[in-house]
Amino acid sequence: MKVSSLLFAVVTLILVISLLSVWFYPSVQDFMASNTMWNGVRSFSDNVSADNIESLDELPSLPKQAVLVAIPYLDYTDAELLKIKQFLADGGTLLLMDDYGYGNTVLAYLGVGVRFSNQPLLDPLFNYKNQLMPRITDFASELKESGIATIVLNHATSLTNVEPAKVIAWSSTASFLDTNENGSWDGGELKGPFVVAAELRLGQGTLALVADPSIMINSMVGRDDNYGFIRYLTRRGDEQEEVLVDNSHLTKMPLDVSKTRVTGGREMLSSPYALLGITALIFVVVSRYTIKKGGNID
């Protein structure tokens, strides 16, 4: 075998192994749909058949039956914020789930007075395992009628400046905002109840706010009524909404970036024109090799 042929075979093998490794090796990054571990959102994504988008350019032009789930851990450009505003104006639903990210940037651009407090919400009395995981049992009547009785938060915060009629969930009276983050209540720190979820109408659309994105992760979505709570926010009555999860504002590791590129490449190659081109290329390569060897295509 010629050196050039051997080199080509080795490079091809390395490329194939690399692509397979990227494709099959699971992500370990927070809130990634490809992450099957405790901090991923594979369970939620699979259960609602969510589409994970890598750019807000992928938002539908007619969004009345679409829900965009946004966890804003990376900042937004003005162009992206405009796309979100238009999405809501045209009838889409934005489920904005934040604790210590850039949720307030989105709210300010939308002209909404509500804010994420960005202060840890602790509950030493009503919790799951510890005070960093408050149990929420106080809901608006429509949620109670939907069967939502208890949800569990995980390192959550709270919402401020919410009109009472817009609130859909409150923490208990035993909860407090741990402003100095020392794990205990000190004089001057605010006590509950605090708003942890709200729903507002904006234009033709709906803005749903939850002060904790962690209720979506694999280890939390099955706790108490967490899944039912999220489903309530992502559908209207018995109607099945198209759920889009914005991956473009989540922090990513190199593996996640590579997965995105491989997925994009696979989708591009799966088109009829790409398959036709690949088939033609294989035919040409095999034909030239056969002819060079002095044989025939048969």
Which pLDDT does position 5 carry in this prediction?
55
Domains: count for the chain: 2
Q: Which residue do the tokens 């190199």 mark?
A: 254
Per-residue b/e over 207-224, b at no fewer than 16 CB within 10 Å?
bbbbbbbbbbbbebbebb
Question: Residue 261 corresponds to which tokens in the numbers above?
Answer: 């590129």
- Specify the pLDDT at position 251: 80
**Same domain for 171 and 277?**
no
What is the per-residue DSSP string for 250-263?
S---HHHHHHHHHH
| Residues 157 and 230 placed together within one structural domain of the fold | yes
238 and 265 within one domain: no
Same domain assignment for residues 219 and 286: no
The enclosing domain of 117 has a CATH number of 3.40.50
In a domain, residue 139? The reply is yes
| 261 and 246 within one domain | no
Whether the full predicted model's pTM is greater than 0.85, yes or no, is no
In a domain, 31, yes or no: no
Mean pLDDT by 10 residues, the chain (298 residues): 55 51 55 87 92 92 90 96 96 95 97 97 97 98 95 98 97 97 93 97 94 96 96 76 91 50 46 51 55 53
- In terms of domains, do 235 and 163 share one? yes
Query: Is there a single domain that holds both residue 248 and residue 261?
Result: no
pLDDT of residue 297: 45
For tokens 């604790």, the residue is: 99
* Edge-to-edge strands, sheet with 127-128: 127-128, 130-136, 151-152
Residue 34 lies in a domain: no
Taken in order 134, 137, 139, 143, is the CA torsion positive or negative?
positive
Largest separation between any pair of C-alpha atoms in the chain: 91
Is the residue at 243 inside a domain? yes
Domain of 199, in residue numbers: 42-252
Do residues 169 and 195 lie in contact, with contact meaning Cβ atoms separated by under 8 Å? yes
- Residues, the chain, total? 298
* 59 shares its domain with 92: yes
Same domain, 245 and 140: yes
Q: Are residues 9 and 52 in the same domain?
A: no
- Between the two ends of the chain, the Cα-to-Cα distance in Å is 24
Same domain, 7 and 108: no
Q: Does 158 lie in the same domain as 283?
A: no
- Counting Cβ atoms within 10 Å, is residue 295 exposed (0-12), middle (13-18) or buried (19+)? exposed
